[in-house]
Amino acid sequence: IVDINGASAIVTGGASGIGAASARALAAKGVKVVVADMNPEKGEAIAKEIGGVFISVDVTDSEQIKAAIAKAEELGTFRILVNSAGIGWAQRTIGKDGNYDSAHNLDFFKKVINVNVFGTFDFVRLAATAISRTEPLADGERGSIVNISSVAGVEGQIGQVSYSASKGAINGMTVPIARDLSAVGIRVNTIMPGLIDTPIYGEGPDSEAFKANLGKNVLFPRRLGTPDELASMVVELTVNSYMNAEIVRVDGGIRMP
């Protein structure tokens, strides 16, 4: 079991939802957390609450990623990266009016891939370079990376073409990245959350009904998951030194209709 007490971590998307819960859970284990997010208001508040540091980062910008890594290296021995930043809009393949462009234009698709896939990969490669320079722990491990994909990466809903493609890509990257990084003692795992109660679903008037309806697909318990239930798995994958190259569902047994 990895002793993460005193190590430093970066949590992307750490200002909200699954990322914020992961930042709190890691801090509770004595980890010094850099909250890396585009939302300074929420990000600063979480960092203050957990005694960590907020840094404004757009994961599509390599220079901003490097600044976050420098911050983590200042705080302690940088060993942990959690990639939770992501965007998840739904757009159908063709519009109800039969116009393909009104529904799912390619600029939109590229944006989702840019943030969810390239943002995740760029953070992985830059962080892994930094982690690879640290002193190894007793069994040769230097650190670990946890990516957040989605069950949508294997069984997307209506309108989830670009989102599912992006999350499937994160699943697909997991094993080859883990193979590459095994050479420098870094474990890599990915979590596929089911339907988790976070602001990602928006705050519109139909939001509650939408979420309640989604929760019906969960086998047991029949509800959405909580960010803390995801954060618990993030911590487990971080400390469990024999978990590697795994893509694990945390979804209450959800099966899409």
Return residues touching ligand NAD (CB under 6 A).
12-13, 15-19, 37-39, 57-60, 84-88, 115, 119, 148, 150, 193, 195-196, 198-200
Q: Which two tokens stand for residue 7?
A: 């190590």
Using the 8-state DSSP alphabet, how is residue 184 labeled? Answer: T
Minimum Å gap between C-beta 168 and ligand NAD is 12
CB 100 within 8 A of CB 117: no
Distance CA 120, CA 150 (A): 14
Minimum Å gap between C-beta 119 and ligand NAD is 6
In the bound state with ligand NAD, the residue whose beta carbon lies nearer, of 31 and 57, is 57
Minimum Å gap between C-beta 249 and ligand NAD is 10
Minimum Å gap between C-beta 65 and ligand NAD is 9
What radius of gyration, in Å, describes the C-alpha atoms of the chain? 18
CB 39 within 8 A of CB 84: no
Minimum Å gap between C-beta 49 and ligand NAD is 15
In the bound state with ligand NAD, the residue whose beta carbon lies nearer, of 94 and 219, is 219
In the bound state with ligand NAD, the residue whose beta carbon lies nearer, of 2 and 37, is 37
Tokens 């618990």 appear where? 232
In the bound state with ligand NAD, the residue whose beta carbon lies nearer, of 57 and 188, is 57
In the bound state with ligand NAD, the residue whose beta carbon lies nearer, of 132 and 217, is 217
In the bound state with ligand NAD, the residue whose beta carbon lies nearer, of 57 and 127, is 57
Distance CA 127, CA 72 (A): 10
Distance CA 66, CA 195 (A): 32
Q: Which two tokens stand for residue 122?
A: 């760029």
Distance CA 132, CA 183 (A): 9
If you write DSSP's letter for every residue of 38-95 in order, what string do you get?
S-HHHHHHHHHHHT-EEEE--TT-HHHHHHHHHHHHHHSEEEEEEE-------B-SS-
Q: How many helices (H) does the chain have, and how many strands (E)?
A: 9, 7
Minimum Å gap between C-beta 178 and ligand NAD is 19
Residues with active-site annotation: 163
CB 35 within 8 A of CB 82: no
